[in-house]
Amino acid sequence: MERRRIMSEDQTRQFDTPGPESRRTTTEGILRLEYIPCPLCNSKDTTLVLTSKDNLCGIPGEFKVERCNNCQHRFMNPRPVLECLGDCYPDHYGPHQSAANVPVPSSAEISATAGQVDPVSAARPLYLRILPLRYIPGLKRFYNWLIDDRSQPVLFASALFPADAAGHDCATESPHRPRALEIGCATGEYLVRLQEAGWNATGIEPGVRPASIARDRGLDVYCGMLETCQLKTAAFDIAAAWMVVEHVPDPRDTLQRIHALLKPGGILLFSIPNAGCWEATFFGRNWFVLELPRHLHHFTPASIQTLLEQCGYADISITHQRNLSNVVGSVALVIFSRWPESRIGRWLFNYPHRPTFGMKLLLAPWAHLIAWIRQGGRLTISAHRIDRHGGPS
């Protein structure tokens, strides 16, 4: 492991040089990178953790993860300059591809479902699509255990807001429905689930096509970035951001913006990869969710807890997901490093994006055990907004 204290005479790192080109490097003419101080504490004292290539999309170059010696935060350094961030997401990037593959509903389907949830979503579990299966005792519970329904929980509005002072049923009377926000909503699958759970749901999605599909489904979606949306502050009871925070250049700014959009006492739900678990250490540069150069931050439970507290959140709960997709994908990357044409490697590599029922069943006991000892590769986190001058409100 290489330890490098950043000194002013280090000509490879010039943090404060005003000319933009002088503080950027080029990786094979594709991405312009820049060295930055720690995004969380501004320290320039860092240690190189690992070097890796883009294992998912094949963007040329070698990319580095460093650890701040002051606050221990791990982050990509150098990282793409802001105007090049979009170039890190080619059209075949997994989440975008899955969004693009969602069939566009016909006009008849849109008119039949406008303003309401999609009743024939292909994403519905098997037991809901085949009527008799719904009534098998314990099947729903087993299914939810198998898919780990804690990883993207849907809070029921009626549980949080049974009725307002005037006696309105907040969960069913539309004008009185509590409000939920999802940052990075893609085609709106989670927004649909929020609506079903009684929320007045709004989404923010930077991708034009997924945002358009979500709108065609009758969902309220703003196409753009959190930084540019014109949403009213202190307007939302809950906010969600699934696998988003590790992608943003300034996670402190993102968490503070969400804090401002939440009502006092509002709840933030989000998920991130866990760089502090065994699989990240064991697989190193072949860790499936390393995803350089798109994952700019590699949080541990301790580092995300500290950041949330600094941003004004309290009652922080960190859940380790029962999910071994990272491990399967990482094994595929190890296989590819020796046998690039391996068909088994290809199948394992595709598994995290298209998990099969049999494999989930096979992995479930191990996934349960690893989550139980708090070594899960993905974390689901909930936190409450507090006002800086007081406790939870």
Residue 84 vs residues 67, 108, 243, 372, 388: alpha-carbon distances, Å: 23, 40, 20, 40, 35
Give Cβ neighbours of residue 83 (< 8 Å, ≥ 6 apart).
32
- The neighbour count for residue 379, using CB atoms within 10 Å, is 23
Binding segment toward Zn ion, per CB under 5 A, in 60-68, 219-227, 308-316, 334-342: 60-68
Q: CA-CA distance, 147 to 347, in Å (whole number)?
A: 20
Tell me if 65 contacts Zn ion by CB under 5 A. Answer: no
Shortest Cβ 45–Zn ion spacing (Å): 8
Tell me which residue of 380, 369, 362, 382 sits closest to 150, measured CA to CA. 380
Q: List the interface residues with Zn ion, window 330-349 (CB under 5 A).
A: none
Residues 204-243 that bind Zn ion (CB under 5 A): none
Nearest approach in angstroms of CB 22 to Zn ion is 24
Of residues 14, 27, 47, 70, which one binds Zn ion by CB under 5 A? 70
User: Which pair of structure tokens corresponds to residue 99?
Assistant: 């969004």
The smaller minimum CB distance to Zn ion, of residues 302 and 369, is found at 302
Binders of Zn ion among residues 40 to 59 (CB under 5 A) are 40-41, 43
Per rule CB under 5 A, count of chain residues that contact Zn ion: 8
From CA 26, how far away is CA 19, in angstroms rounded? 15
For residue 6, state whether it binds Zn ion (rule: CB under 5 A).
Answer: no
Where does this chain touch Zn ion (CB under 5 A) — which range of 62-70, 291-299, 321-329, 354-362?
62-70
Q: For residue 77, give the nearest of 48, 55, 45 by alpha carbon.
A: 48
Half-sphere exposure of 72 (CA within 13 A, CB side): 11
User: Which tokens in the block code for residue 238?
Assistant: 């809950």
CA–CA separation, 143 and 28 (whole Å): 47
Stretch that binds Zn ion, among 73-81, 88-96, 302-310, 358-366 (CB under 5 A): 73-81
For Zn ion, which stretch binds (CB under 5 A), given 70-78, 123-131, 205-213, 232-240?
70-78
Q: Please say which residue, 43 or 350, places its beta carbon nearer to Zn ion.
A: 43
Judged by beta carbon, residue 41 or residue 57, the one nearer Zn ion is 41
Q: Which one of the spans 71-79, 247-255, 266-274, 275-283 is the region binding Zn ion (CB under 5 A)?
A: 71-79
Q: How far apart are CA 291 and CA 106, in angstroms?
A: 35
List the one residue from 31, 33, 36, 38 that touches Zn ion (CB under 5 A). Answer: 38
Q: Would you say 73 or 193 has its CB closer to Zn ion?
A: 73
Report in angstroms how near the CB of residue 66 gets to Zn ion at its nearest.
10
Based on CB atoms, which residue is closest to Zn ion, 74 or 360?
74
Any alpha helices (H) in the chain, and if so which ranges? 94-100, 107-113, 126-129, 139-147, 157-160, 189-196, 208-216, 251-261, 278-283, 301-310, 325-338, 343-350, 357-372
By CB under 5 A, is residue 259 in contact with Zn ion?
no
**Kindly report the CA angle at 96 between 95 and 102, in degrees rounded to 5?**
95
Q: Distance between CA 391 and CA 387 in Å, rounded?
A: 7
Residue 71 near Zn ion by CB under 5 A = yes
Q: Nearer Cβ to Zn ion, position 71 or 84?
A: 71
The token duo for 131 is 């009527």
Q: Could you say which of 13, 44, 73, 378 contacts Zn ion (CB under 5 A)?
A: 73
110 is a contact residue toward Zn ion (CB under 5 A): no
192 binds Zn ion per the rule CB under 5 A: no
Is residue 277 part of the contact set for Zn ion (CB under 5 A)? no
* Residue 193 sits in the site that holds Zn ion (CB under 5 A): no
Query: Any contact of residue 68 with Zn ion (CB under 5 A)?
Result: yes
164 and 171 Cβ atoms separated by less than 8 Å: no
Residues that bind Zn ion (CB under 5 A): 38, 40-41, 43, 68, 70-71, 73
